[in-house]
Each structure stands twice: as structure tokens, then as C-alpha cells.
Amino acid sequence: MKKLGWLGTGRMGAAMAGRLVEAGNDVLVWNRTRAKTAPLVEKGAVAVGEIAELGAADVVFVMVSTPRDLEEVVAGPKGLLGAQHRPTVIVDCSTVSTETSARVRAEAAKAGVGFLAAPVSGNPHVVAEGAACIVASGPTDVFEAVEPYLSQIAKVAVWAGAEEQSRLVKLCHNLYLGMMVQALVEVTSLAEKGGTDRAAFLEFLGGTVLGSDWVRKRTKDLVELDWTPTFTTELLRKDFDLGLAAARELEVPMPVGASVHQLIQSAIGVGLRHEDFLSLYVQQAQNADLASGQ
């Protein structure tokens, strides 16, 4: 059994690292705000004070918020690659651009460190239940070496290619997620404006072939207007920025995605930046002149 490291213990990182700890692995953890490592330490992980100390691990997983964060913690002056002792493999589970991923991969290769891009689908609750999905890309031997750990985190771990394919796959996933949520709040507000109780409409929709586990799990939050964040509108905007930039580069028209991008920006502009992205309903309800949107 290899020693593992985990860098970044926010909501998603903590849930994913927790799966590895609970599976009986020896896990070192680091986070910029050290207090966020405490729940993992209580489960049996060991917190370290500096990123360089994660070099004692064979495999280090990374989960950070932005492309800049990834470059800093991996290739920056105090990053993983600058340490005296480096891991054998770095597995990055963040959602970043293909360009950033390729730069970090190149720096890892120069240092003789394997690099796997392995973004994840699922919020912290889904991860904790073992129902998340991971899409990975990188050399097949690196994927095969860490696949047992990916399978401890997620129910599905799919290899998508030898380079940065998984980054675009994850961005496509999040673009679709944002479009789906906007579609959901639009039809919900229409039914509601016509006199149907919101809960009744969502119960009906969840029972049809158009329903999904996600819709059924989030129905209670939408009914109760609970915007406790699982994935914020700000993070969704970041992924739309990256996804639409990729679409421009590949000359793929995204008319629906572009419209939803502006609606996300509008939601952030009225103060919903740190709320769950399901709060797109607030703007939709206000535009439909529904009392629930006030």
C-alpha cells in the first residue's frame, strides 16, 4: 500500500480525501487554512505544515479552485515539484483549462513526476455516498497505477485519453449542468406562475422519464429555497468561462451555453456569488414576477 497525500481540503477535497482515509490508507493532508484539515485528522489522516512535506507520499492528490491555484501548488516556488522529495505521481482532481493542465503536466515531466488529470463529477454529499464519477487522462501506466485509489473515491473511474481530454470532458459536464439547472428553473417558474404548487410540479417531473437522481435529490432545496452551497454560482461561472473559451478555440457554437453564462453573471451581480448555483431560480422567479423571487 502506498502512502498518499492530499492537497486542498475544501468541501470537495475533504469529502474525497475522507473516502481514502476511511478505506484504510495512510494519508497526509495539507490545506492553506489548516483548520479545514481537522475533520480528516480526526478520522486518522496526518496534517502537515508545508506543501513540501507531502513529498513523503508516493501519490499526491490535488483539489483546488482555480487554474492559478493549481500552478502555484504544483509548480510554484513552494509547490510539490520544488520540494527536495517529490511524489512519484500527482493526480489533479480540479476543474481547470486544458492549457493550464498541459503546462503543469510538462513541468511534472521535467521533474520526473507522473501526472494524471482526474476531475470529478459530484458534490460533497455525492462523494461521501460513494456515488461520484471520475474521468481521467494521462499515460495509461499512470492511470493503472492509481486506478485502485480512484475507485475508492468514486463509483466510476474512466480513462479518456493520454493527454488533456478529461479536462474538456469535465467542462462539457459542467456546461450541461448549468444549462440543465437554468432549464429546470425556467419550467418550474412557468408552472408556478400558472398556479401549480412548486413542490407538486417537481414531484411530478422527478417521477417522469425526464427526472434524474440529481433533480430528485435537489427538489427539497428548490422547494424550500435553500441555497446552502454545494457548488457556487461563482465556481459555475469559472467553468463556463473555461468551457466557452474551449468552444471558441474549437469553433463549436454554444448558443444555449452563452445565454446561460450571462444569466449566471447576472445572478452573481445581484449578490448570489457564494450561494448554491440552484439559486439561479431567484433571478428567474424575479423575472417572472413571482413572489418567491422577492
Per DSSP, the residues of 124-169 read: HHHHHTT--EEEEES-HHHHHHHHHHHHHH-SEEEEEESSSHHHHH
Q: What is the DSSP letter of 28?
A: E
Q: What tens digit of pLDDT does each residue of 142-200 get?
A: 999 999 999 999 999 999 999 999 999 999 999 999 999 999 999 999 999 999 999 99
Q: Contact, 292 vs 193, CB < 8 A?
A: no
**Which is more confidently placed, 97 or 194?**
194
Q: Is 165 exposed, middle or buried (0-12, 13-18, 19+ CB in 10 A)?
A: middle
The predicted pLDDT at position 1 comes to 61
Q: How confident is the model at residue 294 (pLDDT cuts 50, 70, 90)?
A: low
Decide if pLDDT at 2 tops 90: no
Query: Which of these, 67, 49, 47, lies nearest to 6 by C-alpha position?
Result: 47
Q: Contact, 28 vs 3, CB < 8 A?
A: yes
Instruction: Please tell me the distance from the alpha carbon of residue 187 to that of residue 175, in angstroms, as a whole number.
Output: 19
Decide if pLDDT at 11 tops 70: yes
Instruction: Please tell me the distance from the alpha carbon of residue 239 to that of residue 170, in angstroms, as a whole number.
Output: 9
Average pLDDT over residues 25-29: 97
Q: Contact, 281 vs 185, CB < 8 A?
A: yes
Alpha carbons within 13 A on the beta-carbon side of 3: 12
The runs of H, that is alpha helices, within 154-289 are 165-193, 198-207, 213-224, 233-249, 255-267, 280-287
Q: Residue 181 corresponds to which cell in the numbers above? A: 439547472
Backbone angles phi, psi at 160, to 5 degrees: -110, -10
The predicted pLDDT at position 293 comes to 66
Q: Collect contacts of 291-294 with beta carbons under 8 A, ≥24 apart.
A: 292/192, 292/198, 292/225, 293/189
The predicted pLDDT at position 292 comes to 75
Pairing of strands 133-137, 120-121: antiparallel
Q: What tens digit of pLDDT does each residue of 44-95 get?
A: 999 999 999 999 999 999 999 899 999 999 999 999 999 889 999 999 999 8
CA torsion, ordered 90, 95, 100, 105, to nearest 10 deg: 20
Instruction: Tell me the domains of the chain and their CATH numbers.
Output: 4-163 (3.40.50.720), 168-293 (1.10.1040.10)
Q: What tens digit of pLDDT does each residue of 211-230 get?
A: 998 999 999 999 999 999 99
Q: How confident is the model at residue 291 (pLDDT cuts 50, 70, 90)?
A: confident
* Average pLDDT value over all residues in the chain: 95
pTM of the model: 0.88
SS3 228: coil
